[in-house]
Amino acid sequence: MAAVYRFLSSYEGLVYLVLAIGGVIALRWLWSAWREWREAIFGLEREFAQRRLNRALAISFVILLLALGEFILASFVVPALPATVFMPTATLNILATPTGTLPAELATALAVAPATSTAESESGCMPGRLNFTSPKPGQELSGIIELMGTVNIPNFGFYKYEVAPLGSDTWATISAGREVVREDTLGRWDTTEMTPGDYNLRLVVTDNQGESLPACIIPVRVAGQ
């Protein structure tokens, strides 16, 4: 069903075009059948004309219903659906467990992921729309950290924050949220399971169509306990 929603929403213009062409053909058929019915004189001829007129009316009505259904679906139903309907993975599992603690297997994977020593600067962050206000880029962290910032975009769906060793593309999702946040708490991050070292922390926001904006990424350092 998600694939159907995605298709009807993404190709709304094409669907209307096909229905419009079908509507023109159906109306011409309806006009022709109506004229034939009016001009019919004999009973059998009039009966055949009536059948053709009924079929043309039925097809025209079906096309009208399809156009109305596409309008309602694209304008009201799809925008109201959660973004996870359009995602290929079960993101709701992330949202259902906002503990701020990485599973043990992910923490282990991050510990052995290749990393470089090259420092990376803050990127993709947009103040007032997508950014961290705490921690600051390059800040040293330890223990349980409260992440602060903003996720506020049109057609908001959900956000998540992730971590990866500096220079690595091995991202692990820490937690996520469904509500717009404006200069407030995004969630928590328990760094006690992390191997001390340099990491990138990123904030990803996805709209209700399943499209993700470029992530806000900042470098941080996890200190030993």
Report the SS3 class of residue 1.
Answer: coil
Cα 148 to chain centroid distance, Å, stands at 23
Q: Report the chain's mean pLDDT, rounded to a whole number.
A: 81
Torsion angles phi and psi, residue 77, rounded to 5 = -75, -55
- Percentage of the chain beyond pLDDT 90 is 47
Per-residue pLDDT tens digits for 46-71:
888 899 889 999 999 999 999 998 88
Report the SS3 class of residue 132.
Answer: strand
Alpha helices in the chain (DSSP H): 2-10, 12-39, 43-72, 78-80, 92-95, 104-112
Per-residue pLDDT tens digits for 160-206:
999 999 888 889 999 999 899 999 999 999 998 888 999 999 999 99
Q: What is the pLDDT of residue 201?
A: 95
Q: What is the mean pLDDT of residues 67-83?
A: 75
Task: Label residue 82 by pLDDT band (50, 70, 90).
Answer: low
Element (DSSP H or E) covering residue 190: strand 181-190
